[in-house]
Amino acid sequence: MRLGLGRRTLVAAGAAAALAHASPAPAAFNAHARTALGIRGTVDRRRGVGLSFDDGPHPQGTGAVLERLAEGRARATFFLVGEQVERRPALAAEIVAAGHEVGLHGYTHRCHLWLAPRQVGDDIRRGAAALAEATGRPPRLHRPPFGLYSAATLRLVRRSGLEPVLWSRHGRDWSRLATPHSIARRLVTNVRAGEVLLLHDADHYAADGSWRRTVAALPRLLEALERAKLEAVPV
């Protein structure tokens, strides 16, 4: 009897610990969770919509996205992955030179929920160093891979002087099933000022060639924002 109670207690304690560990994870999908945790998913711009891109830089995708943004006179924030920045530092610098912001998406693209705090701390340091060296400025924003923080890693990000930022809607452009039409529709249907939109300028961690659909969707997205009298701005 006592052994059975002890096992149940251990199981309950383990479950409670797991829930506490993953408690910030719903913020990726729920605005109330973001608010409760103090994670930003909006921009403070009266007529602006925050435009953001994850997973780059990419040898073809990033340049194509930059061209479309220049044509639409739009600005954005690129959340870059350190290991990709080390491969293409000049491309990271080009993003900044074009007037866009950069944030840290990690040194590698690994889910925080499966990493020890020590591993995430090392990931943040290496990623921030790679971005600072390539662009000449340290990042001030952080977005985790898959949008998932653990309780410990959320604290680590803040202690590192970085602001955690997520999004309010995404285009699911990483999916093999996405089309330029579906991407733009998901982002602009009933879009409101202050929202943060998530896209990807790279296919390093997504369906092969997904960046091409994102690039094709951008003119539709920017035209729809212009019709709504909304400006695409950095996060």
Out of 54, 123, 173, 203, the active site residue is: 54
Out of 105, 173, 200, 201, the active site residue is: 200
Q: Does 200 qualify as catalytic in the annotation?
A: yes
Nearest CA-CA partner of 105 in 137, 125, 77, 127: 127
3-state helix, strand, coil in the chain (%, to 5): 50, 15, 35
149 three-state secondary structure: coil
Structure tokens at 158: 């803040």
CA dist list (Å): 209 to 61, 144, 202, 212:
9, 22, 8, 6
Place of tokens 């921030």: 128
Check: CB of residue 210 under 8 Å from CB of residue 174.
yes
Check: CB of residue 171 under 8 Å from CB of residue 178.
yes
> In this structure, which amino acid lies at residue 27?
A
Helices 61-71 + 89-97 axis angle, to 10: 10
Active site residue ranges: 54, 200
